[in-house]
Amino acid sequence: MKVLVTGAAGQLGRAVIDLAPHAAQVVGVDKQDCDLSDANAVRAMVADHAPDLIINCAAYTAVDQAESEPEMAQAINADAVAALVAAHAGRIVHVSTDFVFDGASSRPYRPEDSRNPLSAYGRTKATGEDHLRESDLLIRTAWLYAAGGQNFVRTMLRLMAEQDELRVVADQIGCPTWAPGLAKTIWGLVATEAKGTYHHSDAGVASWYDFAVAIQEEARAMGLLQSSIPITPIASADYPTPAKRPAISLLDSSKTRQLLEDGYTHWRINLWHMLRAEKHLG
């Protein structure tokens, strides 16, 4: 099976390629290889590689910047999906986000729940979802991070080493998700020939404040930080951003876990794995 992975240089794309089964012939492409906002370029790329399956890990993920660049977010998060669908008759695996929900639910969001995005980023991701066919596979995830990537964990490590104290939002609730765990789920769903919508996140619940505290504790124990600094919980109103975030964006992954029969892994365990990989990178 020949598999084309878009967004190959991103933290999820790298994990998908690294964890590919031996039977898969994987080709990775990134923005240097193809401008996904150009439908003609997408069509040529698909024709050139002639894949059996496309795993679309490419996305415009600058949530706040999308408020001032909605056209660019639309081009990558939505129009590119439409172009891939038009160019490829076979199945497409597309990765989306918890930001398609408004955060008003009192329980974790199920795959079939109604969407109501609050931001340009969320709206463009929701539009991208709408371009998929019934035969395609949609996987939503949240709070993604991996060693060597651009993410909250690495930002916190840098700030904790540079600053005397930190203030971190405590009233946005979700679940951190390790990219290699998501990549394993993607390949598992591909192997089962799943179609439709599935969710994947690590187990447990956290605020960004909880996540920051855990990052410092684990990094100190691992020797990635030389000292600890005070971390103060604050409200979202005390840290205004251009894009509005969902207050609670937990994803219900039970449908995914039941299909794959692989159980749950708590986010703090995967945080430890990520930090160990980060330490290895130096």
Residue 121 falls in the annotated catalytic set: yes
How many C-beta neighbours within 10 Å does residue 268 have?
Answer: 18
Spot the catalytic one: 60, 121, 145, 198. 121
Three-state secondary structure of the chain: CEEEEECCCCHHHHHHHHCCCCCCEEEEECCCCCCCCCHHHHHHHHHHHCCCEEEECCCCCCCCHHHCCHHHHHHHHHHHHHHHHHHCCCEEEEEEEHHHCCCCCCCCECCCCCCCCCCHHHHHHHHHHHCCCCCCEEEEECCEECCCCCCHHHHHHHHHHHCCCEEEECCCEECCEEHHHHHHHHHHHHHCCCCEEEECCCECCEEHHHHHHHHHHHHHHHCCCCCCCCEEEECHHHCCCCCCCCCECCECCHHHHHHHCCCCCEHHHHHHHHHHHHHHHC
Contact 201, 248 (CB under 8 A): no
Task: Tell me which residues are annotated as active site.
Answer: 121
